[in-house]
């Protein structure tokens, strides 16, 4: 894999993880 391929694969994953963390924190905050 080239660096460009690595970035193209990592970016969406990082975005999903970031959204997941934000959603989890917000949901946990509402629950608490």
Number of domains composing the chain = 1
Place of tokens 């917000």: 26
At 9 the pLDDT is 92
The pLDDT of residue 16: 95
* Overall average pLDDT of the 8-29 stretch: 91
Q: Name the one residue in this structure whose structure tokens are 């975005």.
A: 15
User: Among 10, 15, 6, which residue's Cα sits nearest to residue 23?
Assistant: 15
Is the C-alpha dihedral spanning 3, 20, 26, 28 positive or negative? negative
- In whole angstroms, give the CA distance from residue 8 to residue 21: 21
Q: Report residue 8 CA to chain centroid gap.
A: 14
Q: Which domain holds residue 27?
A: 1-32
pTM beyond 0.85:
no
């Amino acid at each position: 894999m080239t660096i460009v391929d690595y970035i193209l694969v990592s970016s969406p994953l990082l975005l999903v993880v970031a959204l997941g963390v934000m959603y989890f924190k917000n949901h946990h905050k509402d629950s608490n």
